[in-house]
A and B are shown apart, each in its own frame.
Chain A
Amino acid sequence: MSNFDLSVIIDNLPFLWQGLQLSLFLTLLAIIGGIILGTFLALMRLSGIAPLSLAAAGYVNLIRSVPLILVIFWFYFLVPLALGRPIGGFYSALIAFVMFEAAYYSEIIRAGIQSVRKGQVQAGQATGLSYWQIQRYIVLPQAFRNMIPILVTQGIILFQDTSLVFVVSLRDFMTVSSIVARTEGRLAEMYVFAAIVYFVICFAGSLFVRHLQKAKTT
């Protein structure tokens, strides 16, 4: 390790920062999209209307049975076929992540909804609120409050998974690190640096989750 040269990192910092921005941006959008779609899937699943809940259950089970990388490929090749024009790596990856993560989020959200006391629903019904009003004003706000730690945990996993977008030639943080490593011939430095960056972000995330859990129990 005598010739461990850190200047390669500093020299390429703007390029690396661009990659990290893409990773974080993709993570953020995929979390938001995944939670919105996941909420609808969870509500469909719990609606008690057979076609809706079967469709949602089928979707969730299908997505959870295939590797993420395959879903990314699907959307990269299938969406342009369906639309008749290419939409680019970023949008196809974003759609793939949203669709994929929604399946996982919907299971978390379903558990969160079921954790809200049945009496709360009855209280809403007794007031004359409709099914959707009860979900919107009574159940979901309480469910999300209970779920925030586990939603953040899923977000950390999602952040790590964004490194897979190299398969559709997107320049995320992992990809740009590899590019620098190979073009500068500094493999050890770059891969150690990438590991540290991922570790710091994810560990900060899990500390945040622990803080949320503590705040919830007190």
Chain B
Amino acid sequence: MIKIENISKWYGTFQVLADCSTNVDTGEVVVVCGPSGSGKSTLIKCVNGLEPVQEGAIRVKDTEVTAKKTNLTKLRSQIGMVFQHFELYPHMSVRDNLCLGQQKVLGRSREEADAKAEMLIDRVGLLPHIEKFPGQLSGGQQQRVAIGRALAMDPIAMLFDEPTSALDPEMINEVLDVMVELAQDGMTMMVVTHEMGFARKVADRVVFMDDGRIVEDRPTEQFFGNPDSERAQDFLSKILNH
């Protein structure tokens, strides 16, 4: 579904991604982890073209993301994305947050969009809050709305960019629960996160990044059982034993 082939990216002279390659198959859940500044968020933002790459190629289904002539807006409408800081539209109600893309991009009628919005907000457990504005919700609730907003577009895959790292600890699980459910429903997912419990539970593979490189890319059990590289071992010992 998602094919990343030998991509490299620079900010000026600083190289943020170096020759990264990985795949996400249909229905697969891949967790991307690594120390901060390792390029994981940049990598995931390249998948829907929010960040351009200078070398290499990315394909999503049949679309060449990195080709110049690709219609990025069409591609993006098919890939859901969830951000670290939620990025709900603060001047719109929860309902309108879920309807905007459906109506303006997919051309759905207000009735269709409304029905979809209500169904999804119910699914993330927030139906009583549907007329509220984002500022009236907790961080965990906002992120659940953001997941609903992405799902409203009927995406073929979902990208998560550190979806729980801006949350208070007590709110992390309510968001992870929604993501676990989504994974179990067979959604193709690429998730940048430090939540190793989540990775163990639902990830098919773990990609470990350091210094802009993909250092490990292995099935979840192997990664946790016996990571190859010293850097991954070091990272795991820091993140798991505290």
Contacts and interface: CB of A to CB of B under 8 A. Distances in A.
Whether chains A and B associate is yes
A122 B91 contact: no
B153 interface: yes
B112 interface: no
Given A119-B83, A127-B105, A129-B105, A138 B77 contact: no
Contacts of A216: none
B200 interface: no
Interface residues of A, number: 17
A120 B83 CA distance: 10
Given A128-B73, A128-B153, A129-B73, A122 B83 contact: yes
A126 B81 contact: yes
B130 to A, nearest CB: 19
Nearest to A137: B100
A112 to B, nearest CB: 13
Interface in A100-157: 117, 119-120, 122-123, 125-130, 133, 137-138, 141-142, 145
B89 A126 contact: no
B89 A128 contact: no
A177 B176 CA distance: 71
Interface range on chain B (Cβ under 8 Å from partner): 20 to 34
B101 A128 contact: yes
A120 B74 contact: no
Contacts of B91: 141-142, 145
Contacts of A128: 73-78, 101, 105, 153
Interface in B9-66: 45, 48, 50
B89 A123 contact: yes
Nearest to B80: A126
Contacts of B85: 117, 119
B77 A127 contact: yes
Interface string B78-122: 111101010111110000000011001100000000000000000
Given A128-B77, A128-B153, A137-B100, A122 B87 contact: yes
Contacts of A142: 89-91
A212 to B, nearest CB: 16
A141 B80 CA distance: 24
A130 B77 CA distance: 10
A142 B87 CA distance: 13
Contact of A127 (B45, B72, B76): B76
Given A119-B83, A145-B91, A126 B48 contact: yes
Contact of B104 (A117, A125, A137, A145): A137
A123 B87 contact: yes
A30 B83 CA distance: 41
Contacts of A117: 85, 87
Contacts of B74: 128
A138 B105 contact: no
Which among A119, A123, A125, A137 has the highest number of chain B CB atoms within 10 Å?
A: A123
B89 to A, nearest CB: 6
Contacts of A145: 91
Nearest to B79: A126
Contacts of B76: 125-128
Given A119-B85, A128-B78, A145-B91, 4 more contacts: A123-B89, A125-B76, A128-B74, A142-B90
Interface of B: 45, 48, 50, 72-81, 83, 85, 87-91, 100-101, 104-105, 149-150, 153
6 contacts: A117-B87, A122-B45, A122-B50, A122-B87, A126-B50, A127-B149
